[in-house]
Structure 1
Amino acid sequence: MTSAFVVGDQFRKKVSDLLEQPDLSLSEELRTQLGDLLEKKGQIILPFSLARKLKQYLQDEGHPFYLYELLEDSSLHLPEFVKPPRNPELVARLEIIKARLANEEYNKMTRNVNNQDMNRNGTLADFGQQVRSAKAVMVTVFNFLVTIIATFACSYIGSQYLFTETTARVISAVIATSVVGLAELYVLVRTMEGEFGEP
Structure 2
Amino acid sequence: MEGIESRQPEILFTKTIKYFVKDVLAFNDINKTTRDELEPYLFDKNEKKTIPFRLVKIIHQKLNETGNKKIYLHTIVEDSDLHLSSVIFPPRNPELEARIQKLKAQQANREYREMTKNVDRMAQDTPLNFQKDIKEVNRQLVSVFNFLVTVGGAFVFGYKATEYATGPNAFALQMMVGLVFGTVVFFADLWFLVRYGTQ
Change (3 A) 1:50 1:179: same
* Structure 1 Cα separation of the partners of residues 152 and 159 of structure 2: 11
Which of structures 1 and 2 has the bigger CA Rg? Answer: 1
One of 10, 14, 27 as aligned partner of 2:31: 27
Alignment of 1:141 with 2:167, yes or no, is no
Change (3 A) 1:176 1:125: same
Whether the 8 Å contact between 2:10 and 2:82 is mirrored in structure 1 is: yes
* Structure 2 Cα separation of the partners of residues 178 and 48 of structure 1: 104
One of 11, 18, 24 as aligned partner of 1:12: 18
Query: Residue in 2 aligned with 1:95?
Result: 104
Listed one character per residue, the Cα deviations across residues 151-185 of structure 1 (whole Å, up to 9, x for unaligned) are: 2111221246xxxxx65x44443332221011122
Change (3 A) 1:116 1:99: closer
Which range moves more in the overlay, 146-155 or 58-67? Answer: 58-67
Identity %: 17
Q: State the number of aligned residues.
A: 185
Change (3 A) 1:187 1:4: same
One of 49, 71, 79 as aligned partner of 1:44: 49
Alignment of 1:58 with 2:66, yes or no, is no
How high is the TM-score relative to the length of structure 1?
0.64
Note the residue ranges of structure 1 that are not aligned, 5 or more in a row: 161-165
Query: Residue in 2 aligned with 1:105?
Result: 114
Alignment of 1:186 with 2:159, yes or no, is no
Whether the 8 Å contact between 1:54 and 1:67 is mirrored in structure 2 is: no
Question: Cα offset for 1:64?
Answer: 4.0
Whether the 8 Å contact between 1:55 and 1:67 is mirrored in structure 2 is: yes
Change (3 A) 1:190 1:117: farther
Change (3 A) 1:81 1:143: same
One of 160, 164, 174 as aligned partner of 1:153: 160
Listed one character per residue, the Cα deviations across residues 131-160 of structure 1 (whole Å, up to 9, x for unaligned) are: 664454344323332322222111221246
Q: CA RMSD in A?
A: 4.2
How high is the TM-score relative to the length of structure 2?
0.64
Change (3 A) 1:129 1:53: closer
Matching residue's letter, 1:153: K
Listed one character per residue, the Cα deviations across residues 17-45 of structure 1 (whole Å, up to 9, x for unaligned) are: 654x5x74433332221111331635433
Query: Residue in 2 aligned with 1:177?
Result: 178
Matching residue's letter, 2:58: K
Matching residue's letter, 2:148: V
Matching residue's letter, 1:183: V
Whether the 8 Å contact between 2:20 and 2:59 is mirrored in structure 1 is: no
